[in-house]
Amino acid sequence: MMDRQALFEKFLDLLETSPPLLEYLDAEPEAPSPFDPYQMVAEWIALRHEVKQQGKLLQSSQLMLQQALDALQTDQAEGQQQQNSNQKQGVALADQKLLWRDLLTVMDALDQAFVHWQAQIEALAASPLQQFSPSGSQPFWQRWIQHLAQSRSSDTASTSAPSLRQVLISNQQGVELIRRSLLDVLRQRQVIPIVAQGQAFNPQTMYAVGRQETLLTPENTVIQEVVRGYFWGEQILREAQVIVAVKPG
């Protein structure tokens, strides 16, 4: 460790040593140019003009930036509104889809009622009223009409079957009228039945609930439509449930 005396002597040597001259002080400076006030004014005017130009460019840049920000905010607002509109439209379409499906259940019930009345009319044409099954297995309306027929005279009873047929036909026509009206409403909303009976099986629009062996119909052909399918525009609202023909095993 250096002692104090040596440190003090080193400090004195540093003080006595003159520092080196800087580079720009090595040579004698040149004589300054004479002062020209006109040149100074011209340079000052040019500098002022340049500052104004730069200020204008800055203002123009700020204006363009503000316009770009406003346009971006407008696009964001429109995009948000479009997104909200799409969400609302999606919810509305989902609600409409549920409504159409609910109406299809009503249409299915009308189809079944129409088939039921048709079967009753055919059964009445095939068998006299007196040969129907016992009253315990008959519907209420058949037992009621049969009771009225039995309470009349023999001449009146002989004409009761046509009356019953007229009632059945009237009921069938009423169901068919309601069915067609509902079908027209659905068609106006682009809800259209899928044609499946007698067509080749299409897995995109049909669902096979069973197979039936037969030689009378080509294989993979729909021979029975269990539940009717429907389109809604270009999308499938409900698949058709069908039975497909296959060759005997």
Average pLDDT taken over every residue of the chain: 78
Where residue 149 falls (left for φ over 0; alpha for ψ -120 to 50; beta otherwise) is alpha
- Give the pLDDT of residue 202: 92
Query: How many domains in the chain?
Result: 1
Instruction: Say whether 95 sits in a helix, a strand or coil.
Output: helix
CATH assignment at residue 195 = 2.30.22.10
Whether residue 241 is contained in a domain is answered as yes
- Other CB atoms within 10 Å distance of the CB of residue 214: 14
Instruction: Say whether 81 sits in a helix, a strand or coil.
Output: helix
Whether residue 17 is contained in a domain is answered as no
Beta-carbon contacts of 246 under 8 Å, excluding residues fewer than 6 positions away, are: 211, 212, 213, 214, 219, 220
Whether residue 232 is contained in a domain is answered as yes
**What is the pLDDT averaged over residues 193-212?**
92
CA–chain centroid gap for 167, Å, is 47
Helix residue ranges per DSSP H, 127-153: 140-151
In whole angstroms, give the CA distance from residue 28 to residue 217.
120
- Give the pLDDT of residue 225: 92
Q: Is the pLDDT of residue 128 over 70?
A: no
Q: Is the pLDDT of residue 59 over 80?
A: yes
- Give the pLDDT of residue 160: 46
Whether residue 208 is contained in a domain is answered as yes
Whether residue 139 is contained in a domain is answered as no
pLDDT tier at 231, thresholds 50, 70, 90: very high
Q: Say if CB 110 and CB 184 are below 8 A apart.
A: no
Pick from 33-37, 81-85, 133-137 the range whose average pLDDT is largest. 81-85
**What is the pLDDT averaged over residues 208-213?**
92
The residue segments making up the domain with residue 230 are 191-249
Tokens coding 63: 């204006």
Regarding beta strands 206-213 and 240-246, do their DSSP bridges make them parallel or antiparallel, or are they unpaired? parallel
Does 14 or 190 have the greater pLDDT score?
190
Whether residue 201 is contained in a domain is answered as yes
In whole angstroms, give the CA distance from residue 149 to residue 80.
73
Whether residue 99 is contained in a domain is answered as no
- Give the pLDDT of residue 141: 52
Q: Is the pLDDT of residue 154 over 70?
A: no
Whether residue 229 is contained in a domain is answered as yes
pTM of the model: 0.51
Best CA proximity match to 174, nearest among 114, 108, 116, 119: 114
Tokens coding 163: 């009356």
